[in-house]
Amino acid sequence: MAGRGAPARRAGRLALSILLLASTAALPGAAVAQATAESAAPTNAVAQAIRQQVGGKLKDFYRARGYWPLWIVGEAPGPQARALVDVIETVEVDGLRADRYSPDRLRRLIDEAEGGNLRALAYLEVALSGALADLIRDMREPRIEIQYLESALEPTRAKPDAILRRVALAKSTLDYVRSLGWMSPVYVQLREALLDAAPEAGDPQVWVPAGPLLRPGMSGERVSLLRARLGLPDGDLYDETLRARVRRFQSSRGLPVDGMAGAQTLSALNLGSATEAANRRDLLRLNLERARLLPDAWTRHIVVDAAAARLWYYDGGAEQGTMRVVAGTPETQTPMMAGMVRYATLNPYWNVPVDLVRKRIAPKVLAGTSLERQGYEALSDWTADAQVIPASTIDWRGVQAGSVEPRVRELPGRGNSMGSVKFMFPNDLGIFLHDTPQKNLFAKANRHFSNGCVRLEDAGRLGKWLFNRTLKPESSAPEQHVPLSEPVPVYLMYFTASPDGGSVRYVADVYNRDRPALQQLASR
């Protein structure tokens, strides 16, 4: 089914997902144990100095952990301190202003604390924690629209002590900061691509003439032009550095990655221009904003990318699996929404959309093939109490003409369009994830064939991950509901640029959403 609903986010609302905070119990380690994992343990004197220094919104956090530091190793700033400043100095890529977090002041405080002065260490500790709390709240603030189906998924204003408790549960503060552990892996990888976009571009005005295949070990004028086009130092040798840069370019454009510059690679390079490079950066920024809506990888959740027709699921701080899906057609789009998978239905019925009843089923009935032989049955209405009625009571000519709209459902079985299982997250649009007998569709590059629901390449594998067991019906009875003990968030997204191994994959904007979304961002 088509559907778009997306209520506007309130401007300026600082966000940190409730799910992100709720997931902290799943993280390994404890607050004090984490502090020692960085190397030498701080001394009690450091903790006492922090106790005297800390106040305001951070005091509850430090009191609960015995004033043990996040940033001090032994009696000196740990490497995580400078790592945070390194991140802060790049936050323009996130649409933020670095000066809000005072990176120069933080570097000065780090230098002052290197001598081991307890007061300087405590002052630095509090300053870094305050800066990180502000940074996380700002970085997680939504800027584009999505429909939240349940209030538990709505982003909320997180308090600094709640954010820092989440940080403290990481095995390593250094790794958490360097990897932006509070963000989705999709966001982090798109962010890296955007950071790399400018230096990667080289000189887009350079034209590399057609000619024989350029490969490592060769030299000459065309190699010199290729180096200039890809932003490498002057020279005419096709060395390993150039080979690596060519491979990176090929990967970013979806070309065969062989490190050699043939006709296809040169064509893609020569089509590049300053305008194209700017357009790709805009596309990366837009998809970065979409990825900002996702929780971190410690939150158990599912992500469906309707643009690329893929699905990922996350838990325990990492991607747990991926598969191909079939998403909605341009006419019956899979909407952007976030809900909670609450149960599975085994041996499901399929309520056939009225337009398909008119186009596909009614002509066959009128031609003499009964509804029952087609594997369907008719119901009295669309309520939960509907009764099965004889197909003979329906005006099938009226159905074909569009003046009669009966409720028809497909019976469970091997050919049922829902397959053996569907995963339900309550919504008014009738969107869900489900199995399918049409496995041939997953081999296609363009997989936009559904009426808005998401067909799964391997519903059994996703079910096993969700329920920690293989789902099997207890009998042949239809519509056997299996509740999840803990609902799992599912995000239906739309990424026209997304991570693909070590590069970015660009796909067609099949729903024509990018242009209006870019205009919306530009107007902010």
How far apart are alpha carbons 227 and 220 in whole angstroms? 11
Write out the two tokens for 287.
């998809």
What residues does each domain of the chain span? Answer: 18-182, 206-272, 294-512
pLDDT of residue 13: 37
pLDDT of residue 244: 87
Which top CATH class is 206-272? mainly alpha
Asked if residues 433 and 454 have their Cβ atoms less than 8 Å apart, the reply is yes
Q: Is 217 exposed, middle or buried (0-12, 13-18, 19+ CB in 10 A)?
A: exposed
How far apart are alpha carbons 324 and 455 in whole angstroms? 9
How far apart are alpha carbons 293 and 303 in whole angstroms? 11
Full pLDDT tens readout for the chain, 524 residues: 333 333 333 333 333 433 333 444 444 444 444 444 454 666 789 999 999 999 988 999 999 999 999 999 999 999 999 999 999 999 999 999 999 999 999 999 999 999 999 999 999 999 999 999 999 999 999 999 899 999 999 988 889 999 999 999 999 999 999 999 999 999 999 999 888 775 445 677 788 999 999 999 999 999 999 999 888 889 999 999 999 889 878 866 667 889 999 998 998 888 765 556 678 889 999 999 999 999 999 999 999 999 999 999 999 999 999 999 999 999 999 999 999 999 999 999 999 989 899 999 999 999 999 999 999 999 999 998 999 999 999 999 999 999 999 999 999 988 888 999 999 999 999 899 999 999 999 999 899 999 899 999 999 999 999 999 999 999 999 999 999 999 999 999 999 999 887 778 888 899 999 999 998 888 77
Q: Is 215 exposed, middle or buried (0-12, 13-18, 19+ CB in 10 A)?
A: middle
In order of 109, 164, 408, the CA distances from 54 in angstroms are 16, 14, 66
How far apart are alpha carbons 350 and 328 in whole angstroms? 16
Write out the two tokens for 173.
């503060």
pLDDT of residue 459: 97
CATH among 2.30.42.10, 3.50.40.10, 2.40.440.10, 3.40.50.300 for 294-512: 2.40.440.10
Q: At what angle do helices 240-252 and 263-271 cross, to 10 degrees?
A: 70
pLDDT of residue 524: 72
Pairing state between β 337-346 and 421-424: antiparallel
pLDDT of residue 267: 85
Predicted structure pTM score: 0.78
Active-site positions read 434, 453
Domains 206-272 and 294-512 share a fold: no
DSSP state of 214: B
Closest CA to 196 of 157, 152, 149, 230: 230
How far apart are alpha carbons 309 and 443 in whole angstroms? 12
Pairing state between β 337-346 and 147-148: parallel
- Say how many Å lie between the first and final Cα of the chain, rounded: 31
For 116: left if phi > 0, alpha if psi spans -120 to 50, otherwise beta; the answer is left
Q: Which residues contact 443 (CB under 8 A, 6 or more apart)?
A: none
Asked if residues 262 and 244 have their Cβ atoms less than 8 Å apart, the reply is no
Pairing state between β 350-351 and 407-410: antiparallel
pLDDT of residue 37: 42
Q: Helix, strand, or coil here: 232?
A: coil
Asked if residues 265 and 249 have their Cβ atoms less than 8 Å apart, the reply is yes
| Per-chain mean pLDDT for the chain | 88
Pairing state between β 72-73 and 76-77: antiparallel
